[in-house]
């Protein structure tokens, strides 16, 4: 398969681009509604479609978003081994696109790598091993299916003590609790509840916020941890927000929490708005109209400090 740099792997054929957008569009709501199997199947089908299209075109297409989102679904269902595998595959796709000259920035700064760092404590050793393999396979024209390339490597990695220990720890303290709360009896007291909102497809920052909130003795409230089917997702998010004294939102690009942020003014919720990436224009304009201040962070340590300073 060709790795000619003239073929931009992000430049998807119209039919594949449409299929990607149709899969991505409902993803956030499927996560919020805990329809994880439906979400998983949709991304799995899309992955197979990408492989088929690559065979027809004769060159590689970027599949990082597909495997990354499969990692998100695995993380939310506490399938930690599978989440690890998919985030590594996402990183490998980012490396390939970087090596071909089309990724903006470094692969180590992209979502797949950041989730590996935030959740699994991955360091440069693994990243270097993956990069070396990707470069070799690209030079041979054999990097069309990262699952095949890294199957043996990933199984061996999951047997290593440091990775295995991290996996077991995450299973014991999952990002999203598997036994759901009900909106009729939210945990904690009103003056100690902290609503946490943001982009669930980039969960590392939300995981950090949640942990910091808990360490400070407050109760984190996340819509995904409530199993109620009624009212609709957006409505019960607003009801949960209304039952919290505090709220923290990661309003980085594509956060999807415009409505909740806007309602914090009506509910008189004490609110912290943080961002790592510049928020989309709609969010920036609305925040400005609400008279709220955006706090930028560039590391997990800075995010921790912002949350710590915010909570009394």
203-241 as b/e: b if 16+ CB within 10 A: bbbbbbbbbbbeeeebbbbbbbbbebeeeebeebbbebb
- In this predicted model, what pLDDT tens digit does every residue of 125-183 receive, in sequence order? 999 999 999 999 999 999 999 999 999 999 999 999 999 999 999 998 877 776 678 88
Asked if the model's pLDDT at residue 7 lies above 60, the reply is yes
The fold for domain 190-310 equals: Rossmann fold (3.40.50)
- pLDDT per residue as tens digits for the range 190-244: 999 999 998 776 788 888 899 999 999 999 999 888 876 565 656 778 899 999 9
94, 107 Cβ separation under 8 angstroms: yes
pLDDT of 277 over the 90 cut: no
Structure tokens belonging to residue 220: 């984190």
Three-state SS for 2? strand
Domain ranges, ordered by start, for the chain: 14-172, 190-310
DSSP-derived 3-state class of residue 257:
coil
User: pLDDT-based confidence at 279, cuts 50/70/90?
Assistant: low
């Amino acid at each position: 398969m060709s790795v000619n740099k003239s073929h931009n792997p992000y430049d998807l054929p119209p039919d594949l681009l449409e299929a990607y957008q149709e899969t991505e569009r409902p993803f956030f709501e499927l996560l919020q509604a805990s329809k994880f199997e439906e979400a998983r199947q949709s991304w799995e089908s899309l992955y197979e479609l990408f492989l088929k299209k690559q065979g027809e075109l004769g060159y590689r297409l970027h599949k990082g978003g597909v495997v990354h989102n499969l990692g998100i679904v695995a993380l939310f269902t506490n399938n930690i081994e599978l989440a690890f595998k998919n985030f590594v595959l996402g990183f490998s796709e980012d490396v390939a696109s970087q090596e071909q000259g089309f990724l903006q920035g470094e692969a180590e700064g992209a979502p797949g790598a950041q989730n590996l760092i935030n959740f699994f404590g991955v360091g440069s050793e693994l990243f270097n091993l993956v990069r070396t393999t990707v470069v070799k396979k690209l030079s041979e024209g054999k990097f069309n299916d990262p699952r095949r390339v890294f199957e043996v490597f990933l199984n061996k990695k999951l047997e290593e003590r440091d990775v295995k220990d991290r996996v077991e720890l995450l299973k014991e303290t999952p990002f999203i609790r598997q036994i759901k709360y009900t909106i009729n009896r939210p945990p904690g007291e009103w003056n100690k509840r902290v609503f946490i909102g943001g982009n669930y497809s980039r969960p590392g920052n939300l995981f950090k916020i949640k942990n910091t909130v808990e360490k400070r003795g407050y109760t984190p409230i996340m819509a995904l941890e409530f199993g109620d089917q009624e009212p609709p997702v957006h409505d019960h998010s607003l009801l949960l927000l209304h039952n919290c004294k505090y709220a923290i939102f990661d309003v980085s690009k594509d956060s999807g929490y415009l409505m909740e942020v806007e309602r914090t003014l009506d509910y008189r919720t004490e609110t912290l708005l943080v961002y790592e990436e510049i928020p989309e224009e709609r969010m920036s304009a609305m925040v400005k109209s609400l008279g709220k201040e955006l706090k930028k962070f560039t590391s997990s340590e800075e995010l921790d400090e912002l949350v710590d300073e915010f909570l009394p």
